[in-house]
Amino acid sequence: MAEELLVHAEGEAFIADTGDDADRIRANVQKPGMKPVIHSNPSRKSPLPLDRSLYRLRYRVECFFLDLKHFRAAATRYDKTATSYLAVLHVASMLLWLR
């Protein structure tokens, strides 16, 4: 699925887990001009370079989504419209930021 989603990707870097470390994924990331920030799979004979400062951002994003799931309305998506769900996400994000 990663290759299909890369068609719509925008940005300067593509940050992914070790499971996404494949030569074809790295090639597809570099086509639109993004930098692949993927930890090398241990089965690679020679590990590829990794920008550790960008790779650390991945953990910050994962922790944010974990904290966001503590808000019941955001985790279960009770809202009927996308606009009201986005409002719930905004309020939950503000509360997390103020914490």
| DSSP code string of the chain | -HHHHGGG--SSEEEE-GGG--HHHHHHHHTTTPEEEEPPPTTSSSPPP--HHHHHHHHHHHHHHHHHTTSHHHHHT--SSHHHHHHHHHHHHHHHHH-
- Rounded to whole angstroms, the Cα distance separating 99 from 95 reads 6
For the segment 5-34, what is each residue's pLDDT rounded down to a tens digit? 787 888 888 888 888 888 888 888 888 888
pLDDT over 90 percentage in the chain: 10
Q: What's the pLDDT score for residue 3?
A: 75
For the segment 40-73, what is each residue's pLDDT rounded down to a tens digit? 888 889 988 888 888 888 888 888 888 988 888 8
Q: What's the pLDDT score for residue 52?
A: 87
Q: What's the pLDDT score for residue 94?
A: 94
Q: What's the pLDDT score for residue 30?
A: 85
- Rounded to whole angstroms, the Cα distance separating 57 from 55 reads 5
